[in-house]
Copies of this chain bind each other. A is one copy, B any other.
């Protein structure tokens, strides 16, 4: 008998491997080459799986950084910064990256970004930056970033890959942050199980699972902020198709909290 004849039906194990040797990334760096080398250092073939890469190193490689000294805050940014105890130049950058502020309070700005995501500070971050005077923005188009990385890794011989770009978001109602997908290539971000039946034969009420967000959250377990793990390789999750961020964003007209 082969192993497959003796195994029970159902999914096989999932393995998450941290890429622990990606060096500090700066504008213009070849991320695919750095990840290729880091995977090699782990003895990891980096094929047939999902590479989760944190947004920060993609933004840095793409030069999505703004020196606060170059920023002239508008009146609204100065007012918000005074009320919330923030740097008005940081607030100015947040406003530039937002199409609107969904909610403000307790020193927090929940913004809808130009990409359609809702998150704190429009994803503009002051941590993990080369200097205290630099803000790191979200990638211009994280799906395109994922597609480029996927193509470059394929050119380096890595086959059967998908890429998920992850970022760390808060949620209403719950404490603590979780990692979510902000862009992808080579996998279906949403698994549509409408019409499926559960093990009693009843049609499922749950209709769609956010696979890419679950993958990002899983990888987040290894992206502990001071451990220097900006990428995680996930094996054992079916790719299920192709798609990007738009699949994960609820139509604002159908959203009860916007």
Please list the residues of chain A having a beta carbon within 8 angstroms of any beta carbon in chain B.
8-18, 20-21, 24, 41-42, 103-106, 108, 110, 117-118, 125-130, 132, 168, 171-180, 189-191, 193, 196-200, 202-206, 208-211, 213-215, 217-218, 220-222, 224-229, 236-237, 247-250, 254-258
Contact = CB atoms under 8 A, between A and B. Distances in A.
B247 A225 contact: no
Identical copies in the complex: 2
Contact of A13 (B8, B15, B225): B15
Given A128-B199, A189-B176, A11 B229 contact: yes
Contacts of A177: 206, 208-210
Secondary structure at the A interface, as helix, strand, loop or mixed, is loop
17 contacts: A8-B42, A10-B229, A12-B18, A103-B257, A104-B256, A118-B172, A127-B203, A173-B250, A173-B258, A174-B180, A175-B210, A175-B247, A176-B189, A176-B209, A177-B210, A193-B226, A218-B221
| 9 nearest A-B pairs in the assembled complex, by CB-CB distance | A176-B210, A218-B218, A217-B217, A172-B257, A10-B20, A118-B173, A14-B16, A127-B205, A8-B20
A18 B11 contact: yes
